[in-house]
Structure 1
């Protein structure tokens, strides 16, 4: 569905109409309009215009031969292009200072002092080529699916809550049966209290479901609006893009707030000594309501300064029958890089076997593809697409872009570089590539933007990289000098950190919430570092816990765990809290 929708935005297709029937749209239908009423300022298909004409015999209705007059009808501002603060005005400008769409009234009232006011047609140029715009349909589809799933979960929760109520009432009646009619009043009081709590919980569930429905419909409406404007030029598409980005942000915030509560529940505990103390009690027992919090919260639910603690370790085998038995002194796998996809699947690179492996949520290998010698780091670049560093230190310095479609790994394109390609990260519209001694910034098409940082005093001074969610902070592991280097996005060094508890820092990962983790190859340790890159907050795992020559790690928001890989045929999953 996402790919069909994406192609419709990029190229247009026959189900996107220049004018859609207004009446059909109100019924959730997508019908091409053949008529326009000047007085109603609405569009009608052949079926709906007959009903309209029967009600409004004196209205002037234009057909397709006068279609040029439709758009010129006075007082019409398209919904997508309409200013929400000033509905009678069209969005024509964008304020760069506030990253806000504006009409002329907005500029006059709120942005008179702003220095970066641009005409939308200017900034909307080539919007179809913008990676963010191209990924918009898939983002909305994924988000709508999450909202729909959340709504279904709440619906199931409501049913479960009612069953729980029934079970508690049965227990109340069983106790009631053991005693006599004096307990009628106690039973009534207890059930009333139970029903009140259930009603409160159900009200919370209802509010969640209503929020899901509203946001689901709003996302659908705005993406449908974007579809219907594909042939209207780039400004409407740009406006739709910006509005949809804001709506996506709102939806994610709603989902994040809801995700903290997995299930609403109630419990009941009978009073001890009820028979002896019956006369002094008002209810059969104590009712407690609870909101069962997610056992596997994502990092965004933790404060940014949260220091993690370990809850346990578990290893998962990622070997394949076709893997080599041995390779020099190493085991039959060497996991150089890994990342998590939006659906919870994991992509890892196996250096020794020259493979990229796809794992499901249970860490089982479900597919793989062969790449030239040798694959190093891998990073997520949007949707279900990853980029893999392929480097043989001689004449091959490439980045292979691989798409995951229906559980299969498919290489879509390759970028070549004049320098070694060892570590990779993605932020915004840029790729960050490390070459052992330097960090480069490239566009998504492989055009070099600049060399951001360089240190030629050692061979492994720029090994792996991680970027904060806002793109303002960059973390680099310096293996040669046992350091973590922290830069700003201009390449200025903010901090240099080392610690007696580590040797050979290699992999580094920054979560969306700002937590930073480092794994050290020589000391077999996994640590949490402060977001400023200046302090060690915790040592989370050592060799005795299963860490062996680690080279890559990431925090899984799905399982609330750190996943670590290295010169071993297994992944070490560290559960944290």
Structure 2
């Protein structure tokens, strides 16, 4: 047994327990481990972080020691932290690309297969002692240059940097538009002020202060988005530059760069996804009716409302969470193409931030892109029958493609300049009938069960099973509630995110539910194949709030629906060549 004070770790390569040669690093845990330590302080036995580097001396200096250096060598070129990339790497210092981020003084030498994580020896000793798949990086880095993922890194980073830069520019334009909106609202406030004279000073001040507070809040959000874009843009550039500069340094550095870049790409996609949930910040103003008569009882000129146009899921923020929708009219739009061999069977649909619509046509094995007027502007064929479509983030969607036999896939499609481009796919051992996305997870139904996978396809957990009990799924905006269309039992089942059943809802109009959609504001809609109906259900999944459409309104064998933010309407697709658009209020 090892004695106290010694750190032991299991070495999976030689299969024996051995004392960690990083004991000294652990023992000096009270000292900070710096990327660059002051050379002069080190000679005095001190540990001080360097803030400067002299190119002539090739030594590092802290803020105190650099003053002495300036006195001795006035003509030397000294770089500060803003030029840290130009600092030379002293002998024995771990290169930035190969440095462990958790333990900066250690080099990344291993990879944990259980966690798909780069590790130094300290990482293995502390966090991966029980892991069974620890490999030496040079072993797994062989032929990294031939890896398709590695070869696509520059293109992936370039695309992400372009998307980040576009997002930053959009926020900049949005800021200008927001200020113009403020000016217009203030002008309206002042016009009202002139009509009713002396009593309005206090009201004007209160209203403008409230407006400025909302504008400041919105601008702060925009500023944070722009700063995040700048940071991620630069980080992606730096890491891809590092990788490309290491091309002649051997495969291990390239592999490390590859893994780090993959993680950075994942972070960038998450940032873009979160930002894409708000396409535009905006404000509106509505004057109080009867302001002259009720002036004495009012504190402000009118109501200021923020409206954020969501992209990740359609926006219904204009309607309160408990709002019960009423139907104003119906209209049909034909989505059949001249090249279609069969009648359309629309199995899935979603709306993009730019207000385009993506639909899947099961019978014709194609995915179609529609413009704002529901006209087909592009399409791409898939090798099997496409089912549900879910929005991932930005202009990316995922399409369930399944032949009910041996191929169960999720195809990721990017919409670029009005074109559908398939970028990658995931394969599963279970059927892939319906999918929705939240956070870093994919929720996939297989008719008989609900599975949770990571974005790379790794199974996280299985939540529910039963024959034809998991037809389609939706998830609330906060990720806490899951709605399941139970087709065989004519039910809408509501679960928490751990898979615990909260509610089982039935109703005479809920016969053979096939599609379910949850908006960001908490409204829930269901379409039913057997009863040819479209329903609104409360956010808890307990009560029917309204039956919004029936067969006589144009509903026929519906399989998918979503709420369109641009038109305040429900779009329903099924076994015919048309989309039914239900205008609601």
Shift of 1:473: 1.2
Measure the CA separation in 1 of the matches of 2:499 and 2:73: 67
**Contact 2:314–2:351 under 8 Å retained in 1:** no
Q: Secondary structure at the match of 2:41?
A: helix
**Contact 1:524–1:543 under 8 Å retained in 2:** yes
Measure the CA separation in 1 of the matches of 2:20 and 2:164: 20
Q: Aligned in 2, Cα 1:55/1:474: closer, same or farther, shift over 3 Å?
A: farther
In structure 2, what is the equivalent of residue 433 of structure 1? 444
Measure the CA separation in 2 of the matches of 1:30 and 1:350: 66
Q: Secondary structure at the match of 1:179?
A: helix
Q: Aligned in 2, Cα 1:25/1:399: closer, same or farther, shift over 3 Å?
A: farther
**Contact 1:12–1:231 under 8 Å retained in 2:** no
The 10-residue stretch of structure 1 (271-280 or 37-46) with the greater mean CA deviation from structure 2 = 271-280
Q: How does 1:159-170 map to 2 (within 5 A)?
A: none
Measure the CA separation in 2 of the matches of 1:427 and 1:81: 32
Structure 2: runs of 5+ lacking an equivalent: 1-17
Deviations 1:392-436 (A, max 9, x none): 323333322333333332333333333322111222222222121
**Contact 1:41–1:76 under 8 Å retained in 2:** no
Deviations 1:129-171 (A, max 9, x none): 9999999999999999999999999999999999999999999
The 10-residue stretch of structure 1 (202-211 or 408-417) with the greater mean CA deviation from structure 2 = 202-211
Deviations 1:285-312 (A, max 9, x none): 9999999999999224443333333343
Measure the CA separation in 1 of the matches of 2:242 and 2:350: 34
**Contact 1:10–1:128 under 8 Å retained in 2:** no
Shift of 1:219: 14
**Contact 1:83–1:90 under 8 Å retained in 2:** yes
Q: Could you state the TM-score of these two structures normalised by the residue count of structure 2?
A: 0.54
In structure 2, what is the equivalent of residue 328 of structure 1? none
Q: Aligned in 2, Cα 1:522/1:6: closer, same or farther, shift over 3 Å?
A: farther
Deviations 1:551-577 (A, max 9, x none): 101122343332211112111222333
Q: Aligned in 2, Cα 1:26/1:149: closer, same or farther, shift over 3 Å?
A: farther
Q: Aligned in 2, Cα 1:189/1:36: closer, same or farther, shift over 3 Å?
A: closer
Q: Aligned in 2, Cα 1:549/1:217: closer, same or farther, shift over 3 Å?
A: same
Q: Aligned in 2, Cα 1:55/1:314: closer, same or farther, shift over 3 Å?
A: farther
Q: Aligned in 2, Cα 1:71/1:513: closer, same or farther, shift over 3 Å?
A: farther
Q: Aligned in 2, Cα 1:547/1:145: closer, same or farther, shift over 3 Å?
A: farther
The 10-residue stretch of structure 1 (350-359 or 280-289) with the greater mean CA deviation from structure 2 = 280-289
**Contact 2:272–2:394 under 8 Å retained in 1:** no
Alignment length (residue pairs): 566
Q: Secondary structure at the match of 1:287?
A: strand
Shift of 1:217: 13
Quote the RMSD (CA, aligned, Å): 11.2
Measure the CA separation in 1 of the matches of 2:549 and 2:375: 23
Measure the CA separation in 1 of the matches of 2:240 and 2:353: 20
Measure the CA separation in 1 of the matches of 2:277 and 2:429: 47
Q: Secondary structure at the match of 1:105?
A: helix
**Contact 1:16–1:227 under 8 Å retained in 2:** no
Measure the CA separation in 2 of the matches of 1:293 and 1:338: 17
Q: Secondary structure at the match of 2:485?
A: strand
Shift of 1:382: 3.4
**Contact 2:137–2:252 under 8 Å retained in 1:** yes
Q: Secondary structure at the match of 1:291?
A: coil
Shift of 1:82: 18
**Contact 1:555–1:561 under 8 Å retained in 2:** yes
Shift of 1:269: 17
Q: Secondary structure at the match of 2:309?
A: strand
Measure the CA separation in 2 of the matches of 1:505 and 1:450: 25
The 10-residue stretch of structure 1 (433-442 or 65-74) with the greater mean CA deviation from structure 2 = 65-74
Measure the CA separation in 2 of the matches of 1:468 and 1:258: 18
Residue 217 (structure 2) aligned to one of 200, 218, 222? 200
